[in-house]
Amino acid sequence: MTITLVDPDGLPKIDVYRQVAIATGTRTVFVAGQVAWDADGSTVGEGDLAAQVEQCYLNVGTALATAGGSFGDVARLTVYVVDWTPEKMPLLLDGISRAAAKLGVAPAPPATLIGVAALDVPEHLVEIEATAVLD
């Protein structure tokens, strides 16, 4: 495995991600922000944050598979959520959990969550970009 995820002593332990990703691979893969589109370009889960988070994670997984990788190779995620409030956290976590079950991995690389006013398409509630390191 090219990525080792750790929570160093002296930093808080966060359930949904690790504080540090140590990469030892030789190829870096940058995945463009993924929204809740299916392969045909139709929005999945319109109005449903959890469904859209799940689709975004699955789309990241598809993109990584094309490069010969998987979520286990992700060194960092950035998650953009429209009109973010802390009350939306259970929906975000539900979507991540559903995606993890389908991907067969608990996607827990270091992550940054950013609240935004809007995304490119009004129906999109979340966008997720990833950086992965592969051998």
pLDDT tens sequence across 42-91: 999 999 999 999 999 999 999 999 999 998 899 999 999 999 999 999 99
Which uninterrupted H or E stretch holds 13?
Answer: none
Cα separation, 32 vs 54, whole angstroms:
16
Q: Nearest CA to 33 among 101, 103, 97, 116?
A: 116
Where along the chain do its domains lie? 3-134
Cα separation, 120 vs 125, whole angstroms:
10
| Contact between 119 and 23 (Cβ < 8 Å) | no
Cα separation, 133 vs 82, whole angstroms:
28
Cα separation, 19 vs 31, whole angstroms:
20
Cα separation, 125 vs 135, whole angstroms:
33
> Does the reported pTM lie above 0.85?
yes
Architecture of domain 3-134: 2-Layer Sandwich (3.30)
Q: How does pLDDT run across 78-96, given as a tens digit for each residue?
A: 999 999 999 999 999 999 9
